[in-house]
């Protein structure tokens, strides 16, 4: 038996901009075990709920994550709306769906670039971020912000998208859909990509369920679970079906994300067809009371917001469980037995977002 060594990985690492630290126990080049430590960028945003009133906290919730910011704000708003028994107008729900799916596309394009970059496919990184920029432009035109949308509010949305603008956007989106599909095809059919990803970082269906994997990590192992199936924010009306792959390796997880991007384009199109004119918000009065669990599907998986209110304008407790946090135990299982050079690739296929895992 060869000698065991511990190799530290992160929080500063050339291929991984996310501050997660892993102690990799290796035997020669083989990883035997990975021991994680997180907590480098804890900001205490959940505690802030005691100082910001429930309306202002939407701005804080949006800043929990810089990539899926809109869905964080949206989930918080939906939790408060459930507490206050507010019925959000249809048009607002459709607009929320469009922005959620736009943020999913831009997040997956960002992930595609980073994953390609993790094994030196730098031109793919450049091209996928170029396409992401077009999506960000659409987001900026419709919400006013590129990363922080600032368009979700309790009781509806802050901005409407006029009909003429919507047509113009849809015209662009049809072109982008083809571009993204072509780019993804190049990535997924590439021989090197297949070589680096097939059979690497295996996570069985049983492990995925018992370790509580969420999002593409879970669906890549063949479990058809997606919180959008619960039909929040209009997903029940556009005929949503979850996307699954059965292999459970890095390639399957990539395939899930690639197919999800195409599905998001489709969903936006269907949503625009179904949308009717109407109010985009309802006036909310009073203070929330009671407690509620709200779940939503972020690009990385299921996010849970637990809100406990006491009838004043300040909530007494807010707890956020983000998808990356849930995906760390399955990641450690997937890392055991892999080659040292495959560690960055496996870590990137969970699409880590440590800043939202630590809040």
Partner 1 sequence: MSLMGFAKVVLKNLFTGPVTEKYPFVPKVYPQGARGSVNIELAKCIFCGICQKKCPTAAIVVTKEPKAWEIDRLRCISCNYCVEVCPKKCLALDTKYAPVTITRTTDKFSAQPVA
Question: Which residues of the shown chain bind partner 1 in the complex (CB under 8 A)?
Answer: 52, 56, 59-60, 130, 133, 137, 140-142, 144-145, 148, 150, 158-159, 186, 189-190
The CB-of-130 to partner 1 minimum distance in angstroms stands at 5
In order of 17, 41, 327, the CA distances from 11 in angstroms are: 8, 10, 17
Closest CB to partner 1 among residues 9, 76: 76
Closest CB to partner 1 among residues 4, 51: 51
The CB-of-35 to partner 1 minimum distance in angstroms stands at 38
The CB-of-145 to partner 1 minimum distance in angstroms stands at 6
Closest CB to partner 1 among residues 67, 152: 152
Helix (H/G/I), strand (E/B), else coil: 134: helix
**Sequence-ordered strand ranges (E) for 265-330:** 289-298, 301-310, 315-321
One DSSP character per residue, 53-109 reads: -TTTHHHHHHTS-SSSHHHHHHHHHHHHHHHTT----HHHHHHHHHHHHHHHHHHHH
Closest CB to partner 1 among residues 91, 300: 91
The CB-of-202 to partner 1 minimum distance in angstroms stands at 28
Closest CB to partner 1 among residues 5, 123: 123
Instruction: Give residues with Cβ within 8 angstroms of 248, minimum separation 6.
Output: 202, 203, 204, 205, 208, 220, 221, 222
Cα–Cα nearest to 116, from 63, 183, 162: 183
Residues 352, 18: contact at Cβ < 8 Å? yes
The CB-of-137 to partner 1 minimum distance in angstroms stands at 7
Helix (H/G/I), strand (E/B), else coil: 139: helix
The CB-of-93 to partner 1 minimum distance in angstroms stands at 21
Closest CB to partner 1 among residues 62, 351: 62
**Sequence-ordered strand ranges (E) for the chain:** 4-9, 21-27, 30-37, 152-153, 156-157, 289-298, 301-310, 315-321
The CB-of-353 to partner 1 minimum distance in angstroms stands at 21
Closest CB to partner 1 among residues 29, 137: 137
């Amino acid at each position: 038996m060869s000698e065991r060594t511990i190799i530290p990985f992160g929080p500063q690492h050339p291929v991984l901009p996310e501050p997660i630290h892993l102690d990799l126990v290796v035997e020669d080049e083989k990883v035997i075990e990975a021991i994680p430590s997180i907590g480098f960028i804890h900001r205490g945003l959940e505690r802030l709920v005691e100082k910001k009133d429930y309306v202002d906290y939407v701005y804080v919730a949006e800043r929990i994550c810089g990539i899926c910011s809109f869905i964080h704000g949206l989930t918080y708003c939906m939790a408060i709306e459930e507490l206050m028994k507010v019925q959000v107008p249809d048009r607002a729900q459709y607009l929320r769906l469009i922005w959620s799916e736009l943020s999913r596309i831009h997040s997956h394009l960002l992930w595609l670039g980073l994953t390609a970059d993790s094994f030196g496919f730098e031109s793919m990184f450049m091209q996928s971020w170029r396409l992401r920029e077009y999506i960000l432009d659409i987001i900026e035109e419709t919400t006013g912000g590129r990363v922080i949308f600032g368009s979700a509010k309790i009781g509806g949305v802050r901005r409407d998208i006029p009909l003429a603008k919507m047509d113009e956007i849809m015209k662009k989106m049809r072109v982008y859909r083809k571009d993204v599909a072509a780019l993804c095809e190049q990535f997924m059919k590439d021989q090197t990509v297949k070589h680096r990803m097939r059979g690497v970082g295996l996570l069985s269906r049983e492990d995925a369920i018992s370790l509580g994997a969420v999002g593409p990590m879970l669906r890549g192992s063949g479990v058809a679970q997606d919180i959008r199936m619960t039909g929040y924010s209009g997903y029940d009306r556009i005929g949503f079906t979850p996307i699954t792959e059965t292999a459970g390796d890095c390639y399957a997880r990539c395939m899930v994300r690639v197919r999800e991007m195409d599905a998001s384009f489709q969903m936006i199109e269907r949503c625009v067809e179904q949308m009717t004119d109407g109010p985009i918000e309802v006036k909310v009065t009073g203070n929330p009371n009671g407690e509620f669990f709200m779940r939503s599907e972020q690009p990385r998986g299921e996010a849970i917001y637990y809100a406990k209110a006491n009838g004043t304008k300040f909530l007494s407790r807010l707890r956020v469980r983000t998808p990356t946090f849930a995906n760390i135990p399955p990641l450690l299982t997937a890392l055991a037995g892999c080659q040292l050079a495959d560690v960055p690739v496996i870590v990137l296929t969970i699409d880590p977002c440590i800043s939202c895992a630590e809040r």
